[in-house]
Amino acid sequence: MDTFEQEPSREQKIWQVVAAIPEGSVASYGQVAAMAGLGRQARFVGRALGRLPGGHSIPWHRVIRSNGQIAFGEGTEARQLQTEKLRMEGVEVIKGRVRMKDFQWQP
């Protein structure tokens, strides 16, 4: 009997790319989409990260806007959590921004 491996879903491809972002680095939504083979579907990356299953270990906090800005609104718990996680990994976050020049993942 032949065994067929199922192609990973678009979400799974995104999660695989995000899982590969090393500690102390960030990637943009667009960069993740391109690396997952999804062209310019940056917004889909955000939706896919929002649907991560409970108990996951995917470092979602390493994905930010291409201009270095954290996507969550100012004063929100999500923004505070993402900022804390990035700082714990040595990523400098100033006024909700990361210098992409210094911290962008270069695979």
86 pLDDT band, cuts 50/70/90, is very high
Q: What is the pLDDT of residues 30-55, one digit of tens each?
A: 999 999 999 999 999 999 999 999 99
Q: pLDDT at residue 2 above 60?
A: no
pLDDT in tens, 57-70: 999 999 999 999 99
Instruction: Give the range of the structural domain holding residue 83, as residue numbers without chain letter.
Output: 10-54+63-103
* Residue 1 belongs to a domain: no
Number of compact structural domains in the chain = 1
What is the β-pairing status of strands 93-94 and 97-98?
Answer: antiparallel
At residue 8 the predicted structure's pLDDT band, cuts being 50, 70 and 90, is confident
In a domain, 4, yes or no: no
Is position 69 within any domain?
yes
* Other CB atoms within 10 Å distance of the CB of residue 68: 19
Please give the pLDDT value at position 7: 78
What does the mean pLDDT of the chain come to? 94
**Residue 50 sits in a domain of what CATH number?**
1.10.10.10
29 within some domain: yes
Residue 92 lies in a domain: yes
Q: Does the CA dihedral 35-106-21-67 come out positive or negative? A: negative
